[in-house]
A and B are shown apart, each in its own frame.
Chain A
């Protein structure tokens, strides 16, 4: 039976090849669709910008980031903890914008890290204020570490006497009036230096905010010096 089958198949193949050298046909139709409903949540837009920056660093995206942070700062202006998150993001964003390819690699990592922490803080249901502060504190510490690393790198480069070419003037403007210190019953207390624990809640918040502000100021000052021709 098999041999009969063989003949049939072979015969058919033979016929087809005769015709072919001709035949013809087809084209498969492929349909595809993708669907991504766009939620209008502000943090979605921020996330999308942060993800885009991971793939591509451009003035457009960084401007978008800074703009969105501005909007979020306004939306959440009553939440001190969140404000600090936004300030960290904004500061790192501005640093990357001014340094571009010369940015410390840790800056992008910090951007992602701060965003991820912010997402946890905003989206986790039932998260306590203490937990929020704890998460924030970790990010503030990482920010400080990055600042140290940048300073170290700068010192090393100064030793090598390299000139960092730049036509970009830092677009960072500190606006004191933007850094609002509001009084809130909740405080950031865990794992702070001992003297802070003696402060009142309001003083603690003010202290942390001032510390971040100082860090940002010092960093930008260093940057400006670095970028002077």
Chain B
């Protein structure tokens, strides 16, 4: 849960980017970091394998300034997406306040999207959180691949398979190009802050 220091008037919120392996979670953070590092002024910590796959997590913390008199610090994390790192994902989800689910729009990855979303639900439950209640945004990533004639799932299909019950905000995106990366982030921060804000008053 969010960490509030009433004495120092500081709030820390944890947002985790979740999703199947190679879906674009790390790319989201890399885009944010490389395009805003002058303003963010912190480093992106990435613990990766030699094959450039996330091994533990990527971590990007930054301040967003004062909200209702509180200094708000946002911590972005990604989890490793490969199936074998489930124990690690569960660990990184500890204390999460908001989630961005980065789905892979490639048709070939349809099953992996579903498995990963189910995995998110299960791991949240371990931490006594419900996927239906936690601030959650869906990002349908890799929309740019359509230009390369790679078969993609339509947004309708993705909505139906992933969002029919959740009914959360979604964005079509291309993390590699930066399309809707910041918008996704802004949305999840707003939603997370809304859920935290009653603790600030």
Q: Report A's interface with B, CB cutoff 8 A.
A: 2, 5-6, 8-10, 12-14, 16-17, 19-26
Contact = CB atoms under 8 A, between A and B. Distances in A.
A20 B197 contact: no
Interface stretch (B109-117, B132-140, B188-196): B188-196
B67 interface: yes
A14 to B, nearest CB: 7
A45 to B, nearest CB: 41
Given A6-B197, A16-B65, A19-B65, A24 B190 contact: no
A5 B197 CA distance: 9
A208 B123 CA distance: 65
Interface of B: 36, 39-41, 62-68, 71-72, 182, 185-186, 189-190, 193-194, 197-198, 200-201
Contact of B66 (A6, A16, A21, A22): A16
A20 B65 contact: yes
A213 to B, nearest CB: 56
Contacts, number: 64
Interface of chain B, main secondary structure: mixed
Contacts of B198: 2, 5
A13 B39 contact: no
A112 to B, nearest CB: 35
B63 A9 contact: no
B55 to A, nearest CB: 27
Nearest to A18: B186
13 contacts: A9-B67, A10-B193, A13-B190, A16-B64, A20-B36, A20-B39, A20-B62, A20-B65, A21-B185, A23-B39, A23-B64, A26-B63, A26-B71
A17 B182 CA distance: 10
Contacts of B71: 25-26
Nearest to B187: A17
The listed residue with most A CB atoms (<10 A of its CB), out of B65, B182, B186, B200, is B65
Nearest to A23: B65
B186 A21 contact: yes
A10 B201 contact: no
Contact of A17 (B41, B189, B197): B189
B63 A23 contact: yes
A22 B36 contact: yes
B39 A21 contact: yes
A10 B67 CA distance: 9
Nearest to B32: A21
